[in-house]
Amino acid sequence: MLTPTAEIVGPAAAAGRGVGAFNVIQLEHAQAVVAGAEAAGAPVVLQLSENAVRYHGALEPLARATLAIAHASSTPVAVHLDHATDAGLVREAVALGLGSVMYDASTMSYVDNVATTAAVVEHCHAHDVWVEAELGEVGGKDGVHAPGARTDPGQARSFVAATGVDALAVAVGTSHAMLTKDAALDLDLIARLRAEVPVPLVLHGSSGVPDDDLRRAVVAGMTKINIATQLNKAFTAAVRAHLADDPLVVDTRKYLGAGRDAVAAEVTRVLGVLT
Q: Is 83 annotated as a binding residue?
A: yes
Q: Is 204 annotated as a binding residue?
A: yes
| CB within 8 Å of 259: residues ≥ 6 apart | 28, 32, 234, 235, 236, 238, 239, 242
Instruction: Pick the piece of the chain touching ligand G3H (CB under 6 A) from 122-130, 146-154, 173-181, 215-223.
Output: 173-181
What's the rounded Cα separation, in Å, for the pair 69 and 52?
17
**Quick check: helix, strand or coil at residue 117?**
helix
- State the pairing for strand pair 100-103/77-84: parallel
What's the rounded Cα separation, in Å, for the pair 7 and 240?
38
- Strands, E assignment, the chain: 19-23, 44-49, 77-84, 100-103, 130-135, 167-170, 201-203, 222-227
113 makes contact, choosing from ligand G3H, Zn ion, none, with CB < 5 to 8 Å by partner type, with none
- Under rule CB under 6 A, how many of the chain's residues touch ligand G3H? 15
Q: Is 224 in the site for Zn ion (CB under 5 A)?
A: no
Q: Is 204 in the site for Zn ion (CB under 5 A)?
A: yes
Question: What DSSP state is assigned to residue 143?
Answer: S
Closer residue to ligand G3H (CB): 129 or 178: 178
Instruction: Pick the piece of the chain touching ligand G3H (CB under 6 A) from 116-124, 127-135, 220-228, 253-261.
Output: 220-228
- Under rule CB under 5 A, how many of the chain's residues touch Zn ion? 1
Q: Is 176 annotated as a binding residue?
A: yes
What's the rounded Cα separation, in Å, for the pair 33 and 237?
17
23 makes contact, choosing from ligand G3H, Zn ion, none, with CB < 5 to 8 Å by partner type, with ligand G3H
Q: Is 204 in the site for ligand G3H (CB under 6 A)?
A: yes
Q: Is 20 in the site for ligand G3H (CB under 6 A)?
A: no
Q: Is 82 a catalytic residue?
A: yes
The residues binding ligand G3H (CB under 6 A) are: 23, 82-83, 176-178, 204-207, 226-230
Annotated binding site, which residues? Answer: 83, 104, 134, 176, 204
Residues that are catalytic: 82
